């Protein structure tokens, strides 16, 4: 085939093409190395072969733009958390700072950047990073904002995600009137029916049959189903890794995938599933791990007589 | 001097070009798998609810209901996304390591010839997935470059220029080569239906990862 006639500049460019290709290949390798589970596998294997320490994150932590991190244990609360300052309490728990001092700064950042999640990024990754993420991200949710940032922001994104998670948990309301007593707390206990010791992943509230159960925050119904153990079970996803579960209901008033608002009646309590009597099992999960709902409240309902660990 | 460097670099093209293509596709596959993470969680929830209703019907199988809680469901969903991504890497990224460069004109002619002969749509799934995933990878790498430049130098315009240049270069230099090599590989590749089951959702997700 006849070689096409091309100008001198084009020839020179073509001769330099390998440099551009090397540069692009290096960029792709850099992206794959730090940004993908496959890269993490290679890094870990390399560290194993050369007997060094791998800096790769666990493979599953590469999803959700690094925002799917294990929750921090929140410090004991000294006083009540005003709903408007819940996020500041989350940030303070991660930074070991004062929520009262952090609240005005967060509020100002939130107004300037357009969302609470962007304000969190500004606190942990710097204002430049937050501005950049706001400009580039599709939505103002933390995982989307985090996706816009380069790989070196991993550590600060993880801290922002932990603060968001704790802030989200501090902002939760309560599913029943606070006069309803706790009949079984969170923690390892002897199961009243099955007998053996196991973790009670939530708290039991002595609700009477038919009592309205309210959503503790706005969210999306992740599961509204029924089985012989949990009875009629409702799982609400509130975002930022915060999920609440309501078991043993008599009736579910919402459907899978439905959006609910804070305070909306989502179920009526009952005694369905494996129970010794009518009650509501209320559970909070942070990043998929159950935590004690009372850790996020100072005014907890009273314990019923006989309720014990 | 510059040309001498270029000549030396040219000698190692056979190494860095295939590695670059493989890395580009791996970045794209991760971007695509990450897009569907939340949907997978909903899917795992539905499947778990379905099985919980079945297991709780008999006393013998009742303990199985509590075997899979929210922690396990979240873990399962992420593990499915991870396995899916690694399977896609094995199907479309790893074969790119066998890329052998030819003259651009010859590659174009051979590519058209391969396309004409690929009668079965199953044969086109791999190249199409590679094309879309590599495009998503190019977008991802370009975004990472923009972020790094902009946050390091605090020059917004330079970040945008760097992104545009990297994206354009990758689309011209790397993406067509990845698609061509995949087309070449699809001719001899086996397990067409299994590959399609993995790659068709991935190529749809890859479109969602373009930005």
pLDDT 10s digits, A98-154? 888 888 999 999 999 989 999 999 999 999 999 999 988 888 888 888 888 887 788
Report if residue B6 sits inside a domain. no
As given in the structure block, the two tokens for residue B113 are 């010839």
pTM reported for the whole predicted model: 0.83
Report if residue B8 sits inside a domain. no
Residues B161-211 have pLDDT tens digits of: 999 999 999 999 999 999 988 888 877 777 678 888 999 999 898 888 877
Report if residue B4 sits inside a domain. no
The full DSSP string for chain A is: -PPPP--HHHHHHHHHHHHHHHHHHHHHHHHHHHHSHHHHHHHHHHHHHTT----PPPGGGGSGGGT--PPPPPPPPSS---GGGHHHHHHHHHHT--HHHHHHHHHHHHHHHSSHHHHHHHHHH-HHHHHHHHHH-SSSSHHHHHHTS-GGGHHHHHHHHHHHHHHHHHT---SS-TTSPEEE-SEEEE-TTT-SEEEE-SEEE-PPTT-EEE-SSSEEEEEEEEETTTEEEEEEE-STTEEEEEEEEEEE-S-TT-EE-TT-EEEEEB--SS-SSSBEEEEEEETTEEE-GGGG-SSPPPBPTT---
Closest CA to B35 of B81, B86, B88: B81
Which domains are present in chain A?
7-62 (no CATH), 65-170 (no CATH), 182-296 (2.70.70.10)
User: Considering its fold, how many domains does chain B have in total?
Assistant: 1
List chain A residues with CB under 8 Å of B174: 21, 24-25, 28
Report if residue B202 sits inside a domain. yes
Report if residue B85 sits inside a domain. yes
Identify which of A59, A225, A228 has the shortest CB distance to residue B82: A59
As given in the structure block, the two tokens for residue A121 are 């990024």
Report if residue B28 sits inside a domain. yes
Chain B CA closest to residue A226: B53
Q: How many helices (H) and strands (E) does chain B have?
A: 9, 0
Distance between terminal CA atoms of chain B?
A: 38
Q: Which domain holds residue B139?
A: 14-208
| pLDDT number for residue A282 | 96
pLDDT of residue A16 exceeding 80, the answer is no
Residues A43-86 have pLDDT tens digits of: 999 999 998 888 888 888 888 777 777 777 777 777 777 777 88
Report if residue B185 sits inside a domain. yes
| pLDDT number for residue A306 | 64
Report if residue B2 sits inside a domain. no
pLDDT of residue A3 exceeding 60, the answer is no
ipTM (interface pTM): 0.89
Contact A31 B85 (CB under 8 A): no
pLDDT of residue A309 exceeding 50, the answer is no
Query: Do A135 and A115 touch, CB atoms closer than 8 A?
Result: no
Cβ within 8 Å of A, B 53-72: 53, 55-57, 62, 65-66, 69-71
Distance of residue A32 Cα from the nearest chain B Cα, in angstroms: 5
């Amino acid at each position: 085939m006849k070689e096409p006639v091309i100008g001198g500049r084009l020839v020179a460019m073509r001769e330099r093409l390998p440099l551009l290709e090397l540069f692009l290949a290096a960029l792709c390798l850099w992206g794959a190395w730090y940004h993908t589970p496959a890269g993490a596998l290679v890094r870990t294997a390399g560290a194993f072969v050369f007997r060094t320490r791998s800096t790769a994150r666990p493979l599953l932590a590469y999803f959700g733009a690094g925002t799917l991190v294990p929750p921090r244990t929140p410090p004991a609360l000294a006083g009540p958390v005003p709903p408007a300052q819940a996020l500041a309490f989350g940030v303070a728990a991660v930074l070991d700072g004062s929520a009262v001092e952090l609240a005005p700064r967060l509020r100002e950042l939130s107004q300037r950047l357009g969302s609470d999640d962007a304000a969190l990024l500004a606190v942990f990754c710097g204002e430049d990073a937050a501005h950049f993420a706001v400009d580039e991200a599709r939505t103002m949710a933390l995982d989307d904002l985090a996706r816009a940032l380069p790989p070196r922001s991993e550590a600060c994104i993880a801290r922002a995600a932990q603060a968001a998670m704790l802030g989200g948990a501090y902002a939760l309301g309560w599913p029943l009137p606070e006069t309803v007593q706790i009949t079984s707390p969170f923690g390892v206990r002897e199961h009243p029916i099955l007998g053996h010791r196991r973790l009670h992943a939530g708290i039991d509230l002595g609700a009477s049959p038919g009592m309205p159960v309210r959503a503790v925050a706005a969210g999306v119904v992740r599961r509204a189903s029924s089985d012989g153990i949990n009875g009629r079970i409702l799982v609400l996803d509130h975002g930022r890794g915060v999920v609440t579960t309501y078991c043993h209901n008599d009736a579910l008033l919402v459907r899978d995938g439905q959006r609910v608002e804070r305070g909306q009646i989502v179920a009526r309590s009952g005694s369905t599933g494996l129970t010794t009597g009518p009650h509501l099992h209320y559970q909070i999960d942070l990043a998929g791990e159950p935590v004690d709902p009372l850790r996020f409240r100072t005014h907890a309902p009273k314990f019923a007589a006989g309720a014990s660990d | 001097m510059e040309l001498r460097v270029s000549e030396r670099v040219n000698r190692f093209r056979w190494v860095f070009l295939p590695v670059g293509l493989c890395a580009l596709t791996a970045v794209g596959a991760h971007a695509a798998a990450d897009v569907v993470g939340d949907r997978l969680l909903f899917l795992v929830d539905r499947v778990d609810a379905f099985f919980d209703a079945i297991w709780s019907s008999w006393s013998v199988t009742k303990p199985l209901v509590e075997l899979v809680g929210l922690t396990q469901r979240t873990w399962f969903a992420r593990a499915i996304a991870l396995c899916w991504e690694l399977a896609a890497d094995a199907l479309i990224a790893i074969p790119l390591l066998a890329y052998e460069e030819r003259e651009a004109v010859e590659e174009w002619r051979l590519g058209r010839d391969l396309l004409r002969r690929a009668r079965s749509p199953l044969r086109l799934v791999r190249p199409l997935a590679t094309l879309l995933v590599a495009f998503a990878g190019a977008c991802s790498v370009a975004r990472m470059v923009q972020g790094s430049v902009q946050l390091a130098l605090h020059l917004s315009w330079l970040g945008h220029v760097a992104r545009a240049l990297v994206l354009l270069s990758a689309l011209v230099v790397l993406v067509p080569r990845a698609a061509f090599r995949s087309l070449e590989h699809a001719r001899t590749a086996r397990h067409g239906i299994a590959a399609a089951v993995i790659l068709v959702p991935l190529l749809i997700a890859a479109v969602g990862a373009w930005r």
